[in-house]
Each structure stands twice: as C-alpha cells, then as structure tokens.
C-alpha cells in the first residue's frame, strides 16, 4: 500500500485548526493539532499524516500574522509535507491574503488555489465572490465583525493587489488538465461538494508546486481523497459529566447554551469570568459555565475572562466524573489547554460537519475535548454535541 502524502494545515485560530483537521481523523488518518505551537515538541507528531497548526493570528496586524505563519511552518518542519493548506475562515475574516502570501513564500509554492467555499454551511463562491446563504458576503453581518471584519473587496482584487501576480477566476471543471504552475492565484468557483472534490484533486496533482487556500469544506474534500477505509477512529462514549464552557460573546452561543440548560444542565454564570460562590452540583450533572457581563452590562477583557473561565472549568472537571469538555470560542479553548498543560492534541474525528473532537489528559485522566466557533451552528448545536458525545455509551441500567 502506497504511503499517504503528508498534509500540513496552518489556521489562524484553534477552532479553525480543529475543524479543518477533523475530517482526516474521521477517515482513519493519523491527525494532530498543535494548539499551542510555541510550547510543542514537534517530534511528537513527526509520524502523523496530518498536522494542523494554530497560529492564533486572526486579530493581529497583517505583518505579525505573516510572521507567525512563517514561524509555524518552520517549527513543524513544513518541508516534510507534500500538501500544504492555508486554512481560512469561510467568511474571509482575519488576515486571509497576508497569511496566504506568507505561506506561499515560506513553502516555496509557485501558485495558489483559493476556494473558501463550505457548501454544507451555505458558503458558496460564485464568479469569484463569496455568498452566505445566497447573500453576497459584503452585505452580511460578517462584513461588520467588530474584531475582524470580512474581506471587503472581491477575491480577485484582494489577491492581485498583494503581489500574487496573475490572478484568474475559474470553474472547478476547468481545473482538470490545467497548468497551474506560475499562475499566481486562481480563485475557484464552488457551489457543491463535488466542486470541492475537483479542487482537492487538482491540489493533489500539483502537490509540491501549489498552495491550497480554503475552509473546512476544502479540507473535507481532501480527506475524502486520502481516506484510509481500513482504520476506524475511536468514537466518544461519554457516561459522566459534560462541562460546557461558553466564553464566546456571540448571541448564537448564548442561545445554544439556553437549549442545553433547557435539556437539564445546570447553569453557572461567571460575571466577566468570576464566580461569586463555588457551585454545589448534583453528582454527574452536566454543567454550563458561561461568562456574562456585569450588572451595568460591561464586559471584561476577553483574554482575562477566558483564563478565569478555564480555571473554574478545571475545578468542575476534577470531581464529578466529568468525561468531556465542550469549549465555545477560540480564546476559551486556548486558555483551557494552557491551564491543563496540553499544547498538542490527537484528533479523534468529527461529531458533525465542522465540529471536531480530540483526546487530552487532566493529570492522568483522559478527557474528550470538543471545540466550536462562537457563531457556528443553529440554536440546538450544543445540545446536539452533547447527545453525539453520549451516543456510543451504554444505556443506563
């Protein structure tokens, strides 16, 4: 059996690194996430087929974000990977162009295939423009994101103005047999998973010469191409407590938390990350630990809130037979991994599209970790995650 090509993914936040990696693990490929790359010994994933690295650079200035991409590539031995992917947000938030350019240069690729489509989440690329549920990206709330607004110009213009040279817009069917060498950047239209399969196949054919730029939709297509059907990943089978840590300020996260509480979980509110009193919990009861503003509606510093939430979550996980953490918001997940001393994770797979799970340890005890971007999913997303975590567990006596 031929050896699988190694895949390196560099993402600008942890939830992105996880959701890009999940499809590979679900299809039997050895997959790691370097959640805190500065603390990782890269030798631990030297034999992994897929390595996904979090640079935590979405909200940084473009120059600093580009430097983090360079450092991440060098640190994990990027030259040992044949397929390289710059994972970007499907709504083009963050330093999409600057990080793509940096990765193209550090990996010595001569062209880039750019396709941020994620049809399963309603993100399509038509005539080189991203649409979200049928609406042009520039007209959506993502374009007004307070921390990191979406790219405000057409993809072709943004990449042409960043030194990529020739920039073309192509349909996926036209990639078959196309000479991509020296093309600069090719923006690929995509409206279906079959379209993304064409993009992934072109990227594999041009591995070593071409950078792939896309969202978890594109990495899912790559995973379908590289799948190992002989390996079955371990599925979660959670019987004990699930601790939901909601640090995201997105309204979607609060609506999702309310559904879990309605399903029977205990709500513990932390005012800007602080608990007034240590909660008294029933044995085995699920817990939603959620950051809320103070009585005047003021919100604390996001980083400090995340650190305090992570410390409280560790105490909630310790007793009570907790077997899983569900972290909503990248800052929250990063803080929890720092607190628990887990700079790298073995990815288990996907619970559902865009929601990955991994194993880590607290002391010597293995615990499942699920990460979810704050604004991702419908109101029942957190409730559905909990039910999927328990799906493989035996029924109670």
Q: Structural domains in the chain? A: 7-226 (3.40.50.10840), 241-390 (3.40.980.20)
Give the CA dihedral 337, 342, 346, 348, nearest 10 degrees: -40
Give CA–CA dist 158/85, Å, rounded. Answer: 19
State what percent of residues in the chain have pLDDT above 90: 50
Residue 394's pLDDT is 56
The reported pLDDT for the residue numbered 212 is 97
Q: What is d(CA 190, CA 172) in angstroms, rounded to the nearest whole number? A: 7
State residue 106's pLDDT score: 97
Structure tokens at 6: 């190694």
Q: At CA 25, angle to CA 236 and CA 107, rounded to 5?
A: 145
Mean pLDDT of 31-55: 89
DSSP 3-state of 68: helix
Which is higher by pLDDT, 298 or 3?
Answer: 298
- Residue pair 156/128 in contact (Cβ under 8 Å)? The answer is yes
Q: What are all long-range contacts of 271-277, with beta carbons under 8 Å and residues at least 24 apart?
A: 272/298, 272/299, 272/300, 272/304, 272/305, 272/308, 273/247, 273/300, 273/304, 273/305, 273/306, 273/307, 273/308, 273/309, 273/312, 274/308, 275/312
Mean pLDDT of the residues in the chain:
88
Q: Are 5 and 206 in contact (CB under 8 A)?
A: no
Q: Report the Cα 198 to chain-centroid distance in Å.
A: 22
């Amino acid at each position: 059996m031929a050896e699988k090509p190694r895949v390196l993914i560099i993402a600008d936040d942890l939830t992105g690194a996880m959701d890009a990696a999940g499809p590979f693990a679900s299809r039997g490929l050895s997959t790691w996430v370097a959640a805190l790359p500065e603390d990782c010994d890269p030798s631990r994933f030297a034999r992994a087929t897929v390595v996904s690295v979090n640079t935590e650079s979405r909200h940084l200035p473009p120059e600093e974000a580009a430097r983090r991409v360079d450092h991440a590539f060098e640190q994990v031995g990027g030259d040992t990977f044949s397929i390289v992917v710059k994972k970007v947000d499907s709504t083009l938030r963050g330093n999409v162009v600057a990080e793509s350019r940096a990765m193209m240069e550090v990996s010595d690729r001569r062209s880039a295939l750019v396709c941020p489509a994620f049809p399963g989440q309603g993100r399509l690329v038509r005539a080189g423009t991203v649409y979200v549920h049928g609406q042009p990206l520039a007209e959506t709330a993502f374009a007004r994101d307070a921390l990191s607004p979406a790219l405000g110009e057409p993809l072709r213009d943004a990449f042409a103005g960043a030194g990529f040279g020739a920039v073309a817009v192509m349909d996926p069917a036209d990639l078959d047999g196309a000479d991509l060498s020296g093309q600069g950047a090719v923006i690929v239209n995509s409206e279906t998973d079959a379209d993304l399969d064409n993009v992934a196949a072109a990227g594999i054919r041009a591995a070593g010469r071409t950078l792939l730029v896309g969202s978890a939709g594109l990495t899912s297509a790559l995973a379908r191409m590289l799948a190992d059907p002989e390996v079955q990943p371990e599925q979660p089978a959670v019987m004990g407590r699930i601790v939901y840590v909601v640090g995201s300020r997105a309204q979607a996260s609060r609506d999702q938390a309310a559904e879990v509480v309605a399903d029977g979980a205990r709500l513990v509110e932390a005012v800007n990350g602080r608990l007034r009193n240590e909660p008294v919990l029933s044995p085995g009861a699920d817990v939603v630990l959620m950051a809320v503003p103070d009585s005047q509606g003021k919100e604390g510093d996001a980083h400090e809130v995340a650190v305090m939430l992570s410390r409280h979550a560790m105490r909630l996980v310790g007793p009570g037979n907790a077997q899983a953490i569900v972290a909503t918001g990248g800052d929250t997940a990063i803080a929890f991994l720092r607190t628990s001393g887990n700079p790298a994770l073995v990815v288990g797979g996907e619970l559902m599209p865009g929601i990955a799970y991994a194993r880590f340890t607290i002391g010597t005890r293995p615990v499942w970790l699920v990460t979810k971007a704050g604004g991702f999913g419908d109101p029942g997303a957190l409730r559905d995650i909990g039910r999927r975590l328990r799906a493989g567990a035996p029924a109670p006596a």
